[in-house]
Amino acid sequence: MTEENADAIIRMFHVHKRYGAKFALKDLSLDIYKNEYLFVTGRSGAGKTTLLRLLYLGEEVSEGQVLVDGLNLSRIARNRIPQLRRKFGIIFQDYKLIPTKTVFENVALVLEVAGRKPSLIAKKVKSVLRMVGMEDRIDAYPQSLSGGEQQRVAVARAAAGDPKIILADEPTGSLDEESADVIMSFLDTFHSRGATIIIATHDKELLERGHARIIQLRDGQLWSTETV
Amino acid sequence: MQRFYRRAIKDILENRFLTAITVVTIALSILIAAAFALFFVNAGDMLNLWQKGMRMMVYLKASTSEAERLDTKFRLQGIAGVQEAVYISKDEALTRLKEQMQHHSALLENLKENPLPDSFEITLQPSARNSEELRFLAERIQALPGVAEVEYGQQWIQRFTHIINLFSLAGYAIGALFFMATLFIVANTIRLVLYSRRDEIEIMRLVGATDRFIKIPFYLEGMIQGGAGTVIGLGLLYAGYSALALHFAPGLAGGMIQLRFFSVGASAAAILGGTLIGWLGCWVSLKQFMK
C-alpha cells in the first residue's frame, strides 16, 4: 500500500454493479482520500448515483470490494450497517425529509439514532440550522417549505452528526443561485473542518469552483480524472 | 427510553383510527373470553359449595337385625372418606318426611305400615367430595352385607360436572380462537402502520438508525394497544357483571351463593396478558417487515 493509499478513507476494487444484464458500474477502481473534495460527474445514467449508493450500502456490489474507513462492505455484519451509515452525512437528490416531522425533528433524527443527549441535540440542531439560514423555520413541516429550503434542511441534517464523509447527490440540481451558494459554502465549511466531501453532479458551474478532484464516469466506467 | 415512549404516543395519535379499531377489537375479544372465564369461576364456586354440603344416604335391607346394623355402622366408620355415619331409624325417617310434607301429610296418614327403610346419613370428608371419589365410595358401601341401596345424587353431580367440563373445553377453544384473532388483528394493524411509514423507516435506516431504534416504539405501541384493549374489555365485563349480580345474586340459593368478579391479581394478569398479545402481534409484523 502506498502512502497515498494509507490516506484513503474509501477504496473501491474492480467494482461491478449489475441490474439484470445491464451494468451500472463496470470494473471501477478508485481511492478517495481523507478530507478530499471530489466531484463525480457524467451524463444521466453514467453511474454517479449508483456509486454513491454503494458506499453507504444503499446497494450491494455485484462483484469487487469496497472499503470505507477500514470496513469491508462485502463482509460487514447486518448489525454494523448503522455504524457504517453514521460515518456519512447524505444529501439525497429528492431530499428525503420525513413529512410528519418538523424541520427540527428531521435534523435531530441523525443525533437521536446516534444516542446523543437531548440537551446536546437541541444545541447542535439549532446551530446547523442557523448555518444554513433555516433557524426561523425550526417548527415548520417539510411540505410548507420551498425546494431550496428543503434542500437546506437536508444539508443541515447531513452535517448535524459531524460525519467523516458527506455524500451529496445533485445538491444544487434544482435550486436557485442563492440556495445553491448557501449549500456549497456550508459544504466548504465542513470540508475545512476535515470532512471528505463527495458530490455527484453534472452542474458545470460547480465543477469550475476549483480545489477539487473531478472524476468522470461514462457508461459505468471511470472515463477521466483531473484535479482543478 | 422516554423518547421511545414519546414517539410511540405520537404514532398512536397520528394513527388514531387504526389504533381505535385495534383497541376496540382487542377489547371485544377480551370481553368474550373473560366472560367465559368468569362463568367458570362462579360455576366452580357453586359446585364446590354444593359438594361441601353433600350427604350420602345408605339404606339398609328390611330384614337387618340390630347386630347387623351395629356391624354396618362400625364398618362404615372404617371406610376412608367417611367422616361421620348417623343412624336414622325408619320411624325417625317417617317423622322427618311428615315434617317436610306438612301440607300433604294426609297422604302419609293412611299408610298401614312404614314403607321407609332404616338408614345411615353419611357426612363425607372433603377429599371424598368429587365425582370419582363419590362413585368409588358408594361402590364400597354398596358391597357391605346389610346395605340395600346407596344414594348421593350421582347422576345430577355427574351431569353438572360434564356440563362444566364441556363449557371449559368450549371456553379454551374460544379463548384460543380469540387469542389468534387478536394477534392477527394487532399484527395487521401494525403492518398497515409500517407500510404507511415505510419511507420514513427507510430514511431512518439511511441516517444510521439501528433496527432496535426503529422497532422499540412499535413494540410500545402494540403493548399500549393490547393493555388498553384489555382494560376496556375487563371494564365492560365488570359493568355487565355488576348489573347482573345486582339483579340475580339474591335469588341464587337464597343468597347463600356469592357471585364474584376476578381478583385484582387475576385482572392484573389479564392486562399483562393483553399487553403481551400486543407485543407478540408487533413482533410478528416487524419480523416480516424488517427482513
In this predicted structure, the answer to whether residue A65 has a pLDDT above a threshold of 90 is yes
- What local confidence, expressed as pLDDT, does residue B252 receive? 61
pLDDT at A1: 38
Give A86's contacts in chain B (Cβ within 8 Å).
207-208
Q: Which of A17, A162, A24, A1 is nearest to A70 (CA)?
A: A1
The string of pLDDT tens digits covering residues B141-181 is 888 888 999 888 766 777 777 877 787 788 788 878 878 88
Pick A110's closest partner by Cβ from B3, B14, B207: B207
Please name the residue that has the C-alpha cell 448503522.
A82
Do residue B205 and residue A86 have CB atoms under 8 angstroms apart? Answer: no
The whole-number pLDDT of residue A19 equals 92
SS3 sequence of B86-149 = EEECHHHHHHHHHHHCHHHHHHHHCCCCCCCCCEEEEEECHHHCCHHHHHHHHHHHHCCCCEEE
Confidence at residue B151, expressed as pLDDT on a 0 to 100 scale:
86
Measured between CA atoms, how close is A2 to chain B, in angstroms? 32
Judge if B248 and B196 occupy the same domain.
yes
ipTM over 0.90: no
Q: What residue of B is the nearest CA neighbor of A79?
A: B210
SS3 B5: helix
Residues of B contacting chain A (CB within 8 angstroms): 3, 14, 199-200, 203-211, 213
Domain termination residue (choose one: B102, B130, B151):
B151
Q: What are B12-64's pLDDT values in tens digits?
A: 887 788 889 889 988 988 898 888 888 888 877 777 777 666 778 899 988 88
At which of B132, B151, B170 does a domain end? B151
Domain identity same for B87 and B147 = yes
Q: Which grid coordinates are listed for B62?
A: 328390611
Cβ distance B208 to A79 less than 8 Å, yes or no, reads no
The whole-number pLDDT of residue A73 equals: 94
Instruction: State whether B166 and B98 are in the same domain.
Output: no
B230-239 pLDDT per residue, tens: 999 999 999 9
Dihedral sign of CA atoms A11, A152, A194, A70 in order: negative
Name which of A82-91, B55-64, B198-207 the model is least confident about: B55-64
Q: List the CATH number of the domain containing B145.
A: 3.30.70.3040
- Higher local confidence (pLDDT), A121 or B259: A121
Q: Using CB atoms, which residue from A58, A79, A113 is nearest to B209? A: A113
**φ, ψ of residue B203 in degrees (nearest 5):** -65, -40
Task: Indicate the pLDDT class of residue B256, thresholds 50, 70 and 90.
Answer: low
Which residues form the domain of B83?
Answer: 55-151
B117, B257: one domain: no
Q: For residue B207, which residues of chain A lie inside 8 Å, CB to CB?
A: 85-86, 90, 109-110, 113, 157, 161
Within 10 angstroms of residue A211's Cβ, the number of other Cβ atoms is 9
Q: Provide the pLDDT for residue A92.
A: 92
Record: contact A98-B203, CB cut-off 8 A: yes
**Contact between chains at B208 and A96 (C-beta distance less than 8 A):** no
Mean pLDDT of chain A: 91
Task: Name the residue of chain A whose CA is nearest to B201's CA.
Answer: A98
Name the residue in chain B with its Cα closest to that of A163. Answer: B207
Per-residue confidence (pLDDT) for residue B81, from 0 to 100: 84
- One domain, residues B166 and B284: yes
Please check whether residues B188 and B81 belong to one and the same domain.
no
Contact state of B206 with A58 under an 8 Å Cβ cutoff: yes
Q: What are phi and psi of A171, to 5 degrees?
A: -70, -20
At B232, which amino acid appears?
Answer: I
pLDDT at A2: 40
Q: Please report, rounded to a whole number, the percentage of residues in chain A having pLDDT higher than 70.
A: 97
- Predicted confidence (pLDDT) at residue B290 exceeds the cutoff of 60: yes
The verdict on pTM exceeding 0.80 is no
pLDDT digits (tens, 9 = 90+) for B95-148: 888 887 776 767 777 777 888 899 999 888 877 767 777 788 888 888 888 899
Q: How far is CA B2 from CA A59, A118, B5, in A?
A: 34, 11, 5
Distance CA A168, CA A111 (A): 19
A interface mutation test: which of B207, B211, B213 has the most A CBs within 10 A?
B207
Q: Which residue of A has its CA nearest to B205?
A: A82
Q: Which of B124, B151, B178 is the last residue of a domain?
A: B151
Closest by Cα among A50, A58, A44, A57 to A25: A50
Give the span between the Cα atoms of A164 and A89, in whole angstroms.
Answer: 8
Looking at the fold, whether B120 and B39 belong to one and the same domain comes out as no
Q: Mark whether B131 and B163 lie in a shared domain.
A: no
- Position B251 scores a pLDDT of 61
Residues B115 and B28 in one domain: no
Do B24 and B136 lie in a common domain? no
Confidence of residue A179 (pLDDT cuts 50, 70, 90): confident
Distance from CA of A217 to the nearest CA of B (A): 25
Domains in chain B, number? 2
Interface A:B, Cβ pairs < 8 A: 47
Distance CA(B195)–CA(B189), nearest Å, equals 10
Those residues of chain A whose CB sits closer than 8 Å to some CB in chain B are 56, 58, 79, 82-83, 85-86, 90, 92, 96-98, 100, 109-110, 112-114, 118, 157, 161
Q: Do B206 and A109 touch (CB under 8 A)?
A: no
Which residues in chain B are closer than 8 Å to A83, comparing Cβ atoms? Answer: 208
Same domain? B45 vs B94: no
- In this predicted model, what pLDDT tens digit does every residue of B71-84 receive, in sequence order? 999 998 888 888 88
Q: What is the pLDDT of residues A22-42, one digit of tens each?
A: 999 999 999 999 999 999 999
B196 to chain A: closest CA residue: A100
My answer on whether B42 and B10 are in the same domain is yes
B contact test, residue of A49, A54, A84, A85 with most B CBs within 10 A: A85
In the Cβ-directed half-sphere of B259, how many Cα atoms lie within 13 Å?
18
